Amino acid sequence: MAITVAEWGTYGGWQGKREVASATDALQVCAEVESQADAGRVLVGFTAPSGYFFSVGLGHERSCLMYWESVDPPYFQSRGIDQGEPLDFAYDGHYTEVPATSLISRDAALQALTEFVETGRRPESVEWEET
């Protein structure tokens, strides 16, 4: 089984890095991050052995996804429906604003995370917008 690396950093300064070997492990990391009192809204990044990167927004009923295959474009964000105001998420402790048009349900985001960890590729279970 290929190992994916999960990394996060909250506004409160809590940072972590952990190897995950399965979708179950990845969902457990997400649950642990969300259970921390100071976590708030946070993006947890997952890097597959191929170097492909996927992040999921946690700490709110709406979430967002980001995906890229290298440091060079194209980059992708989840495509949601405009549901009002943008949300901010901590990414490595830094403020990252996500437009409402990129927000999707938390359940859809976690399903996409499962797909990414299982395939190492951009999930097909959600719609994407190239940025």
pLDDT in tens, the chain (131 residues): 578 999 999 988 889 999 999 999 999 999 999 998 677 999 999 999 999 999 999 999 999 999 999 999 999 999 998 778 999 999 999 999 999 999 999 999 999 999 999 999 999 999 999 98
User: Which structural domain, as residue segments, surrounds residue 73?
Assistant: 4-130
Exposure string over 91-128, b if 16+ CB within 10 A, otherwise e: beeeebebeeebbbebebbbbbbbbbbeebebbeebeb
Domain count for the chain, please give it: 1
Q: Is 0.75 topped by the overall pTM?
A: yes
